[in-house]
Amino acid sequence: MTDPRVQLRPAVDFCLPAAFRGLAPRSVPRVASHPRQRQVRTQMTQDRPILFRGATIVSMDPRIGVVDHGDLLIEDGRIASVSESGAPDAPALPHGGVDVIDGTGRIIIPGFIDTHRHMWEALLRSGASHHTLNQYYSDVLGDVCRRVTPDDAYVGTLASAKSALLSGITTVQDVANVQLTPSHTDASVAALRDSGLRTILAYGKPFDHMMSTGTGLPDDVLRVRSELLPHDDADVTMALLTEWGSDDDERHNAALADKLEVRTVRHIGATTPISRLKDLGVLRRGTTFIHGNGLPAAQLQIMADSGGTLSSAPAIELMMGHGVPAVGQAPYGLLISLSTSAEVVTAADMFSVMRAALQTGRQFGRGAESERELTAVEVLAMATRDGARSLGLEERTGTLTPGKDADLTVLRADELDVVPVVDPISTIVLQMDRRHIDAVYRQGRRMVGNGSLVDDPRPLIERLRSAADRLGPVPRTDVSVQPWL
């Protein structure tokens, strides 16, 4: 007899996968919820609990592993339980009704976490596909950026955020370098709040402003922190983008970050040694360092010893000539996350980034002959669990652990191009792409269903086209100046 609290949805065919070796325990322990701090949250959750039944659950939590035929329960926007389907100790269904979704033929993973993206640049998608890094500075961050209006910043940021959800990404650090005026910043924050995405706005100084007045951040960051983004447990939070500058600018920015009690993020490369930051006393614990191509091993070790993390964007690094991605050279103990960087060059697609990370990491330093062979498991962790750790969000997201927010992506694993699923993690990293995304949930609210946004994207598409038409094509000039990387 069917439980009257259960509402079944249509089933689909599936070739059930085998458990990934060494990660899936035979029985799933009941994992206690994380203790929760006070939450200043957007009320995104739906009223009724949701139960995914019979899915392959890739939890990325070592205590849970991969559950071949599992159930995942969402209540009040959080993961309430993960268990094997039909297990005698499976939790009872909550009273008051539950929506049951047949997970047959589906793989559920934590939502991807993108630790570095310039979100306003969705206005210029593929507009600088063949630009070098120097041309990007001059033509994108220089020429085009100075013509972006606050409304453009809103549209580009919102389009990037909604597209992130379509790509299975539930958290993004917006490395926002379009703060031409306070109105641009206000528009960016509004777009992030309107999107439903979990985001960190890393307040940065526009390229033109840095070239003319240095890299010291303006006093407007005080207003943004006090009036717009005062809470560290909200869905949109704040960090500072502190770029390479004079000794005075470096000390100024570090002091600001300390005063505001926010994390910092910064681009780093072969010509910007981290040892200088250490000598200046501005090497802050928890900093997200972006790229790191060409840094000697000793500099990467300083990064690791300082409690910093590395955000690698291998797809764009290979396209723009940053150098060999640092994934294969990073020392043991340096936490690596993945990022998409700039839609003006490459797709903001974590599947492409994961493949680029695995391929370059194995080719340059961590191949089959290495004592630390890079595997698909580790790369998927970079795109989920380690991204959350890098951003200080590991208590809220990054794994499918009871007590954490229900930020998750549901993948179609019954398609001809991925069946048979012999190894679910390798299938995710090496066989799947955005086409396989079935649904995306943020704090238990469905943002993507049947591969499409729940909200109608057409009005935003028209605004995006209009803004792009007004800004015009990205120029490509002959540039020889290399500002700081």
Per-residue pLDDT reduced to its tens digit, 387-411: 999 999 999 999 999 999 999 999 9
The stretch 230-242 carries a mean pLDDT of 98
Residue 163 CA to residue 156 CA, distance in Å, equals 10
**Nearest CA among 477, 462, 438 for reference residue 103:** 438
Alpha carbon separation from 55 to 15, 51, 412 (Å, rounded): 11, 10, 10
Phi-psi category of 322—alpha, beta or left, where left has phi over 0 and alpha has psi -120 to 50? alpha
pLDDT at position 160: 98
Residue 122 CA to residue 418 CA, distance in Å, equals 30
Alpha carbon separation from 362 to 319, 326, 357, 372, 373 (Å, rounded): 18, 11, 8, 10, 7
| Stretch (H or E) spanning 113 | strand 112-117
Q: Within 10 A of 340 (CB to CB), how many other CB atoms are there?
A: 28
Per-residue pLDDT reduced to its tens digit, 330-362: 999 999 999 999 999 999 999 999 999 999 999
- The string of DSSP codes covering 136-165 is IIIIIIIIIGGG--HHHHHHHHHHHHHHHH
pLDDT at position 34: 36
* Torsion sign across C-alpha atoms 344, 348, 351, 354: positive
More confident residue, 18 or 349: 349
pLDDT at position 484: 45
Is residue 27 predicted with pLDDT exceeding 90?
Answer: no
Tokens 């980034």, residue located: 353
pLDDT range class, residue 94, cuts 50, 70, 90: confident
Per-residue pLDDT reduced to its tens digit, 294-319: 999 999 999 999 999 999 999 999 99
Per-residue pLDDT reduced to its tens digit, 279-299: 999 999 999 999 999 999 999
More confident residue, 39 or 270: 270
Beta-carbon contacts of residue 16 (< 8 Å; ≥ 6 apart): 56, 68, 69, 421
pLDDT range class, residue 197, cuts 50, 70, 90: very high
pLDDT at position 13: 29
The stretch 371-399 carries a mean pLDDT of 98
Say which range, 12-21, 99-108, 353-362, 391-400, has the weakest mean pLDDT: 12-21
The upper half-sphere exposure of residue 460, i.e. CA atoms within 13 Å in the direction of its Cβ, equals 20
Is residue 262 predicted with pLDDT exceeding 80?
Answer: yes
